[in-house]
Structure 1
Amino acid sequence: MSPGGEHDYRGKDQGGRPDDPYSTLGGTRQTRTRLPDGDAGLPHARRPVRTSRSLLTITGVVVLLVAAIAFANRGGGSDEDAAPGAKKPGTTGSAPTAATGTQPVQGKNGTIASGFAHDEQGAQSAAANYAVALGSAEMFTKESRHQILDTVYSPAAADQLRARQDLAYSAEFLAHLGLDPDGNAPQGSTFISRTVPVGTKVLAFDGDTAKVAVWYTGLIGMSGQDSTKPVSTTWKTWTAQLAWLDGDWKVTGASESDGPAPVPGDVAASQSDAISKAVEEYGGFTYAR
């Protein structure tokens, strides 16, 4: 299924689901060893007498470390207080993973973060949180899907997408994932769809508009003893066009591509009941740049 095909609900410029039924944005896919005193290779050599100058040096280092830890742990701060090399608003392109010093967004619109800052950091935070919402299991039921659309997208974009997404989440498509026509999992099974942002990148910024890429990993599948669609991981990049509307960032268009994907690790897959329990016990995050 390609963008613009049978199950496309956004189109290439609107974040349409690519040919991947598992796209997770909406499923449209000490031991201490004591050494002998003295130098190695010189048996029984005596340890040099520690001078007062050495003690003063060590004391100074400890004081600096304590000060650095206290500085790193304090909240708030201005741009000058941000981690060295942290990206400041007004410069597009890649940014380090170091904290910016900006406090996380506090607002909520239902379960989705809102009230993002009117700058590049705010645009990145909005894109990351919107990716999480669009990749959630709630996208597979009609009522909650419409609520997410109205929260994440601009009114004009949401109006265009609503009917198209309802067609994309057809009974046939839901059945392919093991869900009933209403998007519910069979009794005794848990449908899992989660998006976990790994990083964000500003591709363009012009005050009231922004283009932000979100690199993420996702979980999607059915956890249950009789499941034929076990939970698997995917790696994708979601790129959102954002506009500042009514005091917040809203998505006006989006697209998605595969990767970058790392080499799979050697951790053995867990049993389905362990996955179901983890999803129930571990809540999600509010993402802030």
Structure 2
Amino acid sequence: MSLGDDNDGFGGSGQTRTRLPEGGTGDIHGAPRRPPARGSRSLITVVGVVVLLVAAIAFANRGDTDDADTTSSSKPPGKSSPTSATGVRPVPGKNGEIPMGFARDEQGAQSAAANYSVALVSADILKPDRRSEIVQQLFVQDKVEELKSNLDKAYSREFLSKLGLDEAGNAATGLTYVSRTAPVGTKVTQFSDSAATVEVWCTGVFGTAGASSTNPVTNDWFTMTLALRWADNDWKVDSFSQKEGPAPVNGDLLASDANAIAKAVEEYGGFTYAR
């Protein structure tokens, strides 16, 4: 699920990605990591799918785009802020499943970026009908058609079949495709009243749950960078990019079986994220 080195993505820096984690490389503190409880054949399959997803997103992000026009924030770039929600009510409503109507300030930009990150790496982005709606809702109007065309080409029928999904983005009978992301924190690196750049640190679970799955659900950590523009009385995405990490050391938790994961995805709903 990681993206590797930074690269262009709609005017941003870094490669965007959809989902699916890579195998671990080792404990950054020196101690060996416990290998996941699955065979080498499954691990190879997961890594193969990761490569496919990264290539698809890189393809979708091709095109001539410019960085959003931003000015320096009054807050030094990279300065952290409290993680508790503060200020005015963050969002008055939703457009389908996606929150909308964010405040025209740094808090509103962070709330928008967190919620948009969840949508951009959701399972719905692989479904043609929902993908079109998501792109229309999230992006500035002058980027919508280009992005829709690029994503449709990237998520072709052939590509989806390699993930075990049909042309509508659905898993086979008895299987559940999982792509659930949870923002851990946000950081504003640039801000003006018309544009903002926000980094969103995320974790999530990605893969296919089911007894016959060759792409088991696993977790990942990544950071999305979204360049936002104030348009149509709301924050909209002008460009986005993604990079792996920061990732903590994996805990020694016993992995749940595929049925438990599939049941959890169906029973536990997502959140609206806000500063």
SS in 2 for 1:180: coil
Q: Does 1:255 align with 2:241?
A: yes
CA distance in 2, matches of 1:276, 1:141: 19
Q: Deviations over 1:215-270 (max 9, x none)?
A: 00121110000000011111110000001001000000111101000000111110
Distance 1:272 1:184, change over 3 A: same
Among candidates 134, 156, 159, match of residue 148 of structure 1: 134
How do 1:270-289 residues align onto structure 2 when only pairs under 5 Å count? 270-289=256-275
Q: Does 1:164 align with 2:160?
A: no
Q: Residue 145 of structure 1: CA displacement?
A: 0.2
Provide the residue aligned with 1:102 in structure 2. Answer: 88
CA distance in 1, matches of 2:228, 2:197: 6
Contact 2:227–2:237 (CA under 8 A) maintained in structure 1: yes
> How does the TM-score come out when normalised to structure 1?
0.71
Distance 1:107 1:10, change over 3 A: same
How do 1:1-289 residues align onto structure 2 when only pairs under 5 Å count? 10=9, 13=12, 16-17=15-16, 22=20, 28=53, 91-92=75-76, 93-289=79-275
Contact 1:9–1:168 (CA under 8 A) maintained in structure 2: no
Q: Deviations over 1:47-83 (max 9, x none)?
A: xxxxxxxxxxxxxxxxxxxxxxxxxxxxxxxxxxxxx
Q: Percent identity?
A: 50
SS in 1 for 2:12: helix
Q: Which has the larger radius of gyration?
A: 1
SS in 2 for 1:213: strand
CA distance in 1, matches of 2:229, 2:171: 36
Q: Residue 174 of structure 1: CA displacement?
A: 1.4
CA distance in 2, matches of 1:104, 1:196: 17
Greater relative contact order: 1 or 2 (C-alpha under 8 angstroms, separation 6 or more)? 2
Q: Residue 152 of structure 1: CA displacement?
A: 0.6
CA distance in 2, matches of 1:23, 1:151: 27
Q: Residue 101 of structure 1: CA displacement?
A: 4.0
Which amino acid in 2 is paired with 1:113?
P
Runs of 4+ in 1 over 6 A off after TM superposition: none
SS in 1 for 2:16: coil
CA distance in 2, matches of 1:114, 1:137: 20
CA distance in 2, matches of 1:283, 1:2: 25
Which amino acid in 2 is paired with 1:104?
P
CA distance in 2, matches of 1:10, 1:283: 30
Which amino acid in 1 is paired with 2:98?
I
**Structure 2: runs of 5+ lacking an equivalent:** 23-51, 55-72
> How does the TM-score come out when normalised to structure 2?
0.74
